[in-house]
Amino acid sequence: MPTAERVLLRPVTMGLLLQSLLLLLFLLLLGCCLRPAAAFPKGCYPSEEEGLKTFRCSNARLTEVPRDIPNDTNKLYLDSNRIPFLPRDAFRDLPLLLELDLSHNAIASVESGAFRGLAEHLHSLDLSSNRLVSVNKDAFSNLKAKVNLSNNPWLCDCRLQELVRTVELVAGSSGGIVCDSSAQEEHVGKAFLQVIADTDLCNVYKKTTDIAMLVTMFGWFAMVISYLVYYVRQNQEDARRHLEYLKSLPSKQRRSEESSTISTVV
pLDDT at 39: 74
Write the burial class of residue 50 (CB in 10 Å: 0-12 exposed, 13-18 middle, 19+ buried).
exposed
CA 255 to chain centroid, in Å, comes to 77
Q: Which of 83, 159, 155, 180 is nearest to 126 (CA)?
A: 83
Tens-place pLDDT, residues 82-96: 999 999 999 999 999
Other beta carbons within 10 Å of 235: 12
Q: Give dist(CA 241, CA 109) in Å, integer.
A: 69
pLDDT at 119: 87
Q: Give dist(CA 36, CA 130) in Å, integer.
A: 32
Tens-place pLDDT, residues 11-64: 545 555 566 666 666 556 544 444 444 478 889 999 999 999 999 999 999 999
Which parts of the chain sit beneath pLDDT 70?
1-38, 204-266
> pTM higher than 0.85 for the full model?
no
Do 189 and 179 meet the contact criterion of CB atoms below 8 Å apart? yes
pLDDT at 219: 56
3-state secondary structure 187-213: HCCCEHHHHHHHCCHHHHHHHHHHHHH
